[in-house]
Amino acid sequence: MQTEHSCQGQCNHHWTASITKCYNCQTVTTPLWRRDDSGNTICNACGLYYKLHHVQRPVSMKRTVIKRRKRFSRAPQQIMFNQTYKDAQPDNKHLQRHEQENETHDNPELVSAIESLLKLSTQIDNPTMLSSLTTVLSTILLNPVQFKQGLEARREKLQRELNQITDLISKTSEILKSIESIISLVKKDDSNNTEKSSILASLVMLGIVDHTFLMLF
Name 197's Cβ contacts closer than 8 Å, sequence gap at least 6: 214, 217
Q: Where are the domains of the chain?
A: 14-65
What average pLDDT score do residues 130-138 get? 66
- Give the integer Cα–Cα distance in Å for 141 and 102: 10
Q: Is the pLDDT of residue 3 over 50?
A: no
CATH 3.30.50.10 fits 14-65, yes or no: yes
- Give the integer Cα–Cα distance in Å for 180 and 185: 9
82-111 as b/e, with b when 16 or more CB fall inside 10 Å?
A: eeeeeeeeeeeeeeeeeebeeebeeeeebe
Q: What is the pLDDT of residues 170-217, one digit of tens each?
A: 988 888 888 888 877 766 655 555 666 666 666 666 665 555 554 545
- Give the integer Cα–Cα distance in Å for 113 and 165: 27
- Give the integer Cα–Cα distance in Å for 168 and 131: 36
pLDDT of residue 64: 62
